[in-house]
């Protein structure tokens, strides 16, 4: 009897203990806000960030402080360094583990509480894992064979299939229709981006209310661009950003490439050559299978892709190229369409979130090279954007922006869809007008 009980406890523990234990690695990790007033302070902090290998979530600027995640062991080194340089800072979250535990609890409670019907689809009451999304894409294609094709584009570093959907009423044969391309989860920890692509799929396939979006446009949607990293955020390390490439490790230390620095435009010019960095660019452009897969889709369909959306989080930014601060030749149009998309979202967003800010990525955020959307833009795709979805922070501290509040999942999908539709309709008109000439 006792042996049987122990066995049951062991099985239960195998199921739940690893989940409970996964946040332990963040015990004592803190979030700091840092006041960078001058260029000298900026470069001093950049050096400190590099030396202590810190994970900077927001770079600050224009009066906004920077936000940085600091492991327990580095906290006093950071404080001493900042103190000696006369840089002001604030300890904003003492222990992020507590909020990670809360996220886990809220997400599982919300899923358990929700009134799931037998209706086909992935409900917007939780954040779905890779296997569930993967199976859903396959099932969609089999239920809607005249509208949806599922494509296995290749395998990730750890061998997971990267799938995308082609959604078309004309089986992609009508070349007078432009393609709208979108992807999410290139950065593993940006969970709230997944409901944005899943919501778009729902509205284009299962719950279609606006026929023109299908009559006038073909769609390519890739929901999980970085499946290894994404699974790792569920099983081991919630704030993991990169892919899971191990070939660059120094002994047992540091792994992963920032996929949003691995693309072949300006590669390595404004990114890190150090594998320990969160912006490590890999050994060459497209060294990573996940980036090469997106390159191949973009090349195969590039002449018809009119709008390219790489969905990230967080901050409510709508960013366009280039990452060195130079504007593409059609910069004015890109800005205008960005503003229209932002306004469509702002019109329905929750009042506690700020309006989207639209602009060049290097000027609004920071310079970066080898990004997905810059690569797409450089190929001649007219409209390429990085969306940074809002952080909705009802249950968490104001800075812990990667955490998903279950209340916000459906809203994130809904409001982002308003922006996507605005951009897609503009893309359909401009593609038609151009190809008439």
Closer by beta carbon to Zn ion, 36 or else 225: 225
Which is closer to ligand 0X9, CB of 218 or CB of 388?
388
Does 128 participate in binding Zn ion (rule CB under 5 A)? Answer: no
Q: Which is nearer to Zn ion, 385 or 426 (CB)?
A: 385
Task: Please report the DSSP string for 63-76 in residue order.
Answer: TBPEEEEE-GGGHH
The Cα–Cα gap between 36 and 87 comes to: 7
Closer residue to Zn ion (CB): 258 or 306: 258
Site string for ligand 0X9, 246-285 (x = CB under 6 A): --------------x-------------------------
Decide if 326 contacts 199 (C-beta within 8 A). Answer: no
Which of Zn ion, ligand 0X9, none lies near 311, with the C-beta cut-off 5 to 8 A by kind? none
State how beta strands 305-313 and 179-184 pair. parallel
Q: Which does 223 bind (CB under 5 to 8 A by kind): ligand 0X9, Zn ion, none?
A: none
Q: Strand 357-360 vs strand 317-320: parallel, antiparallel, or unpaired? A: parallel
Task: Considering the complex, state which of residue 81 and residue 315 has its C-beta at the smaller distance from ligand 0X9.
Answer: 315
- Which residue number, 312 or 421, has a Cβ lying nearer to ligand 0X9? 312
Nearest distance from C-beta of residue 64 to ligand 0X9, angstroms? 14
Q: Which residues pair with 419 in a beta bridge?
A: none
Number of residues binding to Zn ion, judged by CB under 5 A:
2
Contact between 165 and 204 (Cβ < 8 Å): no
Closest CA to 354 of 328, 307, 303, 390: 390
Residue 187 is a binding residue for Zn ion (CB under 5 A): yes
Q: How far is the CB of 46 from Zn ion (least distance, A)?
A: 19
Q: Per CB under 6 A, does 66 bind ligand 0X9?
A: no
Q: Is 151 exposed, middle or buried (0-12, 13-18, 19+ CB in 10 A)?
A: middle
Which residues inside 187-206 make contact with ligand 0X9, applying CB under 6 A? Answer: 187, 190
Shortest Cβ 311–Zn ion spacing (Å):
9
Element containing residue 222 per DSSP (H, E): strand 218-222
**Which region, judged by CB under 6 A, interacts with ligand 0X9, from 77-85, 109-117, 362-370, 407-415?**
362-370
Contact mark string toward ligand 0X9, 308..327, x via CB under 6 A: ----x------x---x----
Q: Are 325 and 362 in contact (CB under 8 A)?
A: yes
CB of 377 to ligand 0X9, least distance (A): 11
Q: Identify the CA nearest to 180 among candidates 411, 385, 410.
A: 385
Residues 59, 177, 281, 312: which binds Zn ion (CB under 5 A)?
A: 312
**Binding at 361: pick from Zn ion, ligand 0X9, none (beta carbon under 5-8 Å per type):** ligand 0X9
**Which residues are catalytic, by number?**
388
Q: Taking a C-beta distance cutoff of 8 angstroms, is the pair 401, 314 a contact?
A: yes
368 is a contact residue toward ligand 0X9 (CB under 6 A):
yes
* Window of 81-89, 247-255, 299-307, 311-319 that interacts with Zn ion by CB under 5 A: 311-319
Cβ proximity of 28 and 71 under 8 Å = yes
Q: Does 371 bind ligand 0X9 (CB under 6 A)?
A: yes
**Can you tell me the distance from the alpha carbon of 110 to that of 394, in angstroms, rounded to the nearest whole number?**
14
User: Which CB, 166 or 187, lies closer to Zn ion?
Assistant: 187
Question: How long, in residues, is the chain?
Answer: 437
**Comparing C-alpha atoms, which of 373, 364, 270 is closest to residue 321?**
373
**Closest distance to ligand 0X9 from the beta carbon of 55 (Å):** 11
Part of the chain binding Zn ion (CB under 5 A), chosen from 28-36, 80-88, 179-187, 344-352: 179-187
Q: For residue 253, give the 3-state DSSP assignment.
A: strand
**Radius of gyration, alpha carbons of the chain:** 22
C-alpha 162/C-alpha 134 separation (Å) is 8
Considering only residues 252-271, where is the footprint of Zn ion by CB under 5 A? none
46 in helix, strand or coil?
helix
Element (H, E) at 12: helix 2-21
Nearest CA-CA partner of 204 in 148, 164, 149, 150: 148
Binding site for ligand 0X9 (CB under 6 A): 187, 190, 260, 312, 319, 323, 361-362, 365-368, 371, 386, 388
């Amino acid at each position: 009897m006792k042996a049987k009980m122990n066995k049951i406890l062991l099985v239960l523990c195998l199921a739940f203990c690893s989940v409970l234990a996964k946040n332990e690695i963040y015990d004592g990790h803190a979030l700091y806000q840092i006041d960078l007033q001058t260029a000298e302070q900026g470069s001093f902090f950049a050096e400190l960030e590099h030396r202590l290998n810190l994970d900077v979530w927001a770079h600050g600027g224009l009066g906004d402080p920077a936000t940085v995640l600091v492991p327990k062991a580095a906290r006093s080194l950071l404080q001493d360094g900042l103190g000696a340089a006369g840089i002001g800072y604030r300890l904003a979250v003492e222990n992020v583990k507590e909020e990670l535990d809360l996220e886990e609890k809220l997400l599982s409670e919300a899923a358990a509480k929700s009134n799931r019907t037998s209706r086909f689809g992935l409900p917007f009451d939780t954040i779905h894992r890779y296997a569930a999304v993967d199976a859903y894409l396959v099932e969609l294609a089999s239920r809607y064979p005249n509208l949806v094709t599922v494509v296995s584009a290749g395998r990730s570093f750890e061998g997971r299939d990267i799938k995308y959907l082609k959604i078309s009423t004309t089986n992609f044969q009508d070349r007078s229709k432009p393609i709208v391309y979108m992807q999410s989860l290139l950065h593993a920890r940006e969970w709230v981006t997944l409901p944005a692509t899943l919501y778009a799929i729902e509205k284009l396939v299962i719950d279609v209310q606006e026929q023109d979006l299908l009559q006038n446009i073909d769609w390519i949607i890739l929901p999980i661009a970085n499946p290894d990293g994404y699974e790792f955020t569920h099983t081991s390390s919630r704030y993991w950003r990169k892919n899971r490439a191990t070939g660059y490790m120094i002994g047992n230390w540091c792994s992963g490439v920032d996929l949003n620095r691995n693309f072949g435009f300006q590669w390595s010019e404004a990114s890190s050559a150090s594998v320990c960095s969160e912006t490590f660019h890999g050994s060459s452009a497209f060294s990573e299978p996940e980036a090469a897969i997106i390159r191949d889709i973009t090349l195969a369909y590039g002449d018809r892709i009119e709008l390219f959306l790489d969905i990230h989080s967080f901050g409510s930014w709508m960013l366009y190229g280039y990452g060195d601060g130079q504007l593409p030749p059609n910069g004015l149009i890109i800005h205008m369409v960005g503003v229209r998309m932002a306004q469509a979202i702002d019109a329905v967003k929750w009042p506690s979130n700020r309006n989207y800010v639209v602009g060049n990525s290097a000027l609004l955020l920071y310079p970066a090279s080898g990004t997905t959307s810059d690569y797409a833009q450089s190929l001649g795709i007219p409209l390429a954007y990085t969306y940074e979805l809002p952080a909705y922070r009802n249950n968490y501290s104001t800075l812990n922006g990667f955490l998903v509040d279950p209340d916000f999942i459906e809203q994130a999908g809904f409001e982002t869809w308003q922006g996507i539709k605005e951009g897609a309709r503009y893309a359909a008109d401009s593609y038609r007008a151009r190809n008439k000439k």
